[in-house]
Amino acid sequence: MIATQPISNWLTCPKPNPRATIRLFCFPYAGGRASVFRTWPDELPAEIEFYAIELPSRGKRIKEPPITRMEPLVRAIAGAIESLSDKPFCFFGHSMGALTSFELARLLRRDGRPQPLHLFVSGSSAPQIKDAHPVTFDLPEPEFLDVLRRLNGTPREVLENEELLQLMLPTLRADFELLQVYEYEDEPPFRFPITAFGGLQDKEVSREDLEGWRVQTAATFILRNFPGDHFFLHTDRSRVLWAMSQELSSLVSRR
């Protein structure tokens, strides 16, 4: 179980590291909890202090209502991480987490606050690419469950357990709503690098969708693909973390 630092209910820190050079904040996918990243700190450089974002309506925040709009979500997270911006930091987000971390970085820039050194986006189309998929968050339950099965990200034990399923469905619908009502607005590209990760068998996000992230930075852009579907970050976790560790170690060496 992840031990939570008493900084904010938005954050968990499995291994506090006061000597860290850089902090890494990780943002979960739709329906995901901070615990999906529980093993990651063991596979990252020793100079990194790791934080996972815990969103309302899951984990220890299960009784809190979900947030279905991007602006209040990133505004709340910005407040939660404010006390931790005394050290350089990076963002990683998968799927919904990629979009959330992107919009959080833009909010920090608008507010004149410290920016990430690097943005890692995973399993997500570039934000300016209009989603061609139909709206699904308000589908009747059988059709909505079909969508979840196709994405292959909801554990089978949840889909086959009616009690667990009914507990999770409002959170999943809320997260899908947040994504499906999101409207992109033009802003200048970032001045820090972006690395995009994708799954070679991902039917939801194509290589072209990932390439679209290139226009969101005036600095270096890197695209890396891994075997697996939309949730390759689980099935090929070690290679994903190895690739991210290379970039993080490079940042550490320049501090």
What stretches of the chain show up as alpha helix (H) in DSSP?
A: 70-81, 96-110, 141-151, 156-159, 162-180, 207-211, 232-235, 237-253
Both tokens of 41, joined, read 């700190």
Active-site residue, from 8, 57, 95, 124? 95
Contacts of 73 (CB under 8 A, 6+ apart): 55, 67, 100, 178
Backbone angles phi, psi at 247, to 5 degrees: -70, -40
Beta bridge partners of 90: 24
Vertex 126 angle, CA 124 and 132, to 5°: 80
Distance from the first to the final alpha carbon of the chain = 32
- Residue 95 annotated as catalytic: yes
Which residues form the catalytic set? 95
